[in-house]
A and B are shown apart, each in its own frame.
Chain A
Amino acid sequence: MTDRTAAPAIDFRGVTKSFRLPDGKTLTALTDTSLSVGKGEFVALLGPSGCGKSTLLRLVAGLEAPSSGAVAVEGRAPEELVKAHRLGIAFQEHALLPWLTVRQNIELPFRIAGRPVMRERVQGLINLVGLAGFEAARPKQLSGGMRQRVAIARSLVLEPEILLLDEPFGALDAVTRRQMNVELQRIWSESRISTLLVTHAVEEALFLADRVIVLSGRPGKVVRTLEVPFARPRHPDVMRTAQFHQLVDELTETLHPTDGAGH
């Protein structure tokens, strides 16, 4: 299903990223991290808060440069993909422009890329994320979950080769979050874009991803890689199986090793 022998979609080779703080000290967010995302693969990134997950994503998007090591996207520098408008991204804080309507927000990437707006594609995405009827609404008139869906539609509108999602559902309650997971999995199944998802939620990672990568606490480092055994398309019922629960426990244990002492 996933071809990992060809040039990977995202390739991290021994990447270290340090920040210089205002007081002159340096803070190392990531140290000697290597990982890759294959073409058409969905990888979820788990890790404790502050371990460098967002930093890793920003390196892929070319928003930061590595202190050492190399980041390649489709075998090239991230900036080239950005210049070609081949990268889709959705942030935790949704980053919708408040003065634009839902439709205009989703059309924005076309305008920035200087391409004619493909109206049917925009409408198709609006329908896909379940926002038909809200095309003319402004972000503040939407619920948190609806805003996240607009951001996801926007990230997909140019049919990107790489999709980056940074805790896209972080601000949602558990029930809405699960609904959004089901919808994202449906949307993703239709396009199969190489995707890197950052999340705090173990269940979300297991339900959505082909592979789950766990980072250690700061400075971040890959401590575990897990191939998710569930076949696609995945029905939400998979989350009720014993195997799913067992994997959740396993990953939680990796994330918070001390918690498991009493088991």
Chain B
Amino acid sequence: MSQSATANGPARPSLVGRIGRTLLNFWGIALILVLWEALVVLNDFNVIVMPRPWAVFADIWANPGLYLQNFMQTAWVAMGGLVLGMIAGTTIAVLAWSSRILNGLLTPIGLIFSSIPVVAMIPVLARMLGYGTETVLAIVAILSFFPFFVFTGSGLKLLPAGSADLFSVFGAKKHQRLFHLALPSALPNWTVALRLASANAILGAMVAEFLMGTSGLGQMLHAASQAFNTERALGASVCATIGSVTLFVLVVSLEARVRERWT
């Protein structure tokens, strides 16, 4: 790379410069696709075992209603569960903040649940709550609860230097401390929880649907794998991936904006 090319790059984005930058940003993803293709070619898979990408998209194109319906189903339980878990986790974190005893009682429980594979508990919940959409919703809510509880809880204590003393000198009451100081301080951590929980929300919904075989993309994936319909299984995967990556990108940009403003 020549000195002048890098110097000119940011100032006047030429077509070549723009392509170059895109390549730099996405070379990792391109590499994965190339590796995949290479693996398919090297292993000499036939079309039935490993469909070419276009076959997967053709299946989606041929059955838009089926895909859309299942996608919407999974998307709304994932979002709904995420919101429920967010509300519950944040609320309990605030309650723990306001009471030293509650904080002491709950903190280790939160730690325990964030160090175990909670996804493995989905079958227990499914059996307990019964097979159905509400159960998927509850499972996503429970999966989302712990990141919000743990991260909001620690964020409420990450106050700017000296601000706690400042509020004492202001004679601030407890609710003023909460709304003017602790909650705003916790926002960056809260967005981290949002990122972690949303990466898990669609996964949790799909795993629950997959195990119970009731509805949504997970059920589609389950049925297709049972029937060795690889195109359909990969179609469901593609839909889940699109939904999950979109959500992730939105959340990451929100997180970046908060970080920008807060530090």
Contacts and interface: CB of A to CB of B under 8 A. Distances in A.
Interface of A: 58, 61-63, 82-85, 87, 89, 91-99, 108-109, 111-113, 138, 140
B contact patch SS: helix
Contacts of A89: 165-166, 169
Contact of A82 (B163, B171, B180, B262): B171
B119 to A, nearest CB: 35
A196 to B, nearest CB: 13
A82 B169 contact: yes
A139 to B, nearest CB: 9
A108 B160 CA distance: 15
B180 A95 contact: no
Interface of B: 160-163, 165-172, 176, 180-181, 184, 187, 261-263
B82 to A, nearest CB: 24
A113 B162 contact: no
A99 B168 contact: no
B179 to A, nearest CB: 10
B170 A109 contact: yes
Given A87-B169, A97-B181, A112-B170, 11 more contacts: A58-B165, A62-B169, A63-B168, A91-B166, A93-B161, A94-B162, A97-B184, A99-B187, A99-B261, A112-B171, A113-B170
A168 to B, nearest CB: 12
Given A97-B181, A99-B184, A108-B180, A84 B162 contact: no
A98 B170 contact: no
Contacts of A85: 170-171
27 contacts: A61-B168, A63-B169, A82-B169, A82-B170, A84-B171, A85-B171, A87-B169, A89-B166, A89-B169, A91-B166, A92-B162, A93-B161, A95-B165, A96-B160, A97-B181, A97-B184, A98-B160, A98-B262, A98-B263, A99-B262, A108-B170, A109-B170, A112-B167, A112-B171, A112-B180, A113-B171, A138-B261
A93 B161 CA distance: 7
